[in-house]
Amino acid sequence: MIKLSEISTKADDSITKEKAIGEIQNFRKKIFKLQNLLYANATQSLLIILQGMDTSGKDGTIRHVFSTVNPQGCSVKTFKTPTTEEAAHDFLWRVYRHVPAKGMMQIFNRSHYEDVLFPVVHKTIAKSQLVKRCKFINEFENHLKDSGVIILKFYLHLSHKEQQKRIKQRLTVPEKMWKYDPADKRESKKWEDYIKAYEHIINTCSPEIPWIIVPADEKWFRNYTVAKTIVKTLEKLRMKYPE
């Protein structure tokens, strides 16, 4: 069983900051080429799921890692509080519509896991509903996998101390103030509840498609780890341009 408290949120000593920043530049170039191959082949697709506590860097990861992708072959979808229309359907309804077509890359900034996290932390669903939702998610993700969708699930692992620092920056740094949401402070008080909910998800949901836990206290290491994983995953496909 994975315990997040036993996993460091700090960069390890496998690479220096200077070298990692240089490697990120190389990974961006590779992602551009690999995305082009994915698009040209149109036999598989890539779904990237980014989850993490508030301020863990989901937006920043998208901005820094995917800055070179062709917009024609990549989309980003953010899942916030369900709209009235979305809430009138089953919780996966709003997700199905954004599953990537063959040849496409799709990034989920938050995802269907929000419909487990928030209800569990705020105690708006029964335990029996939680079990069912996790079962439905497992079936959903395995169905996508069998249909040619490659799924990468990243949990951006931030420390509570670093989160408090970043929330404070949103209150004091002019160029970051627009990001501030009063809900960030309220939800931060439920830190331990969210950690427990994430541990349940990481240990329960689709073990065949394991979570990648990314230390996120240092932004450069977070970006390096995500970019490296994407490149390695796509390179394993050994794609070639169609004749």
State which residues of the chain have pLDDT below 70: none
Strands, E assignment, 118-166:
149-157
What pLDDT shows up at residue 117? 95
What pLDDT shows up at residue 160? 96
Query: In this predicted model, what pLDDT tens digit does every residue of 138-184 receive, in sequence order?
Result: 999 999 999 999 999 999 999 999 999 999 888 887 777 777 777 77
Beta pairing class for 45-52 and 105-109: parallel
What residues are paired with 215 via a beta bridge? 157
What pLDDT shows up at residue 144? 98
Reported residue count of the chain is 243
Query: In this predicted model, what pLDDT tens digit does every residue of 66-87 receive, in sequence order?
Result: 999 999 999 999 999 999 999 9
Backbone angle region of 103, left / alpha / beta, with phi > 0 → left and psi within -120 to 50 → alpha: left
Tokens of 160: 């509570």
**Sheet with 74-78, side-by-side order of all strands:** 74-78, 105-109, 45-52, 149-157, 211-215
Tokens of 8: 């460091």
Count of beta carbons in the 10 Å neighbourhood of residue 2: 13
Burial class (CB in 10 A: 0-12, 13-18, 19+), 5: exposed
Task: Look up tokens 């996290």; give the residue.
Answer: 117
Superfamily of domain 4-235: P-loop containing nucleotide triphosphate hydrolases (3.40.50.300)
Tokens of 35: 């995305």
Q: How close are the terminal C-alpha atoms of the chain, in Å?
A: 47
Residues 136-149, buried b or exposed e (16+ Cβ, 10 A)?
Answer: bbbebbeebeeeeb
Q: 3-state class of 3 per DSSP?
A: coil
Q: Quick one: CA dihedral 202, 205, 207, 213, positive or negative?
A: negative
What pLDDT shows up at residue 92? 97
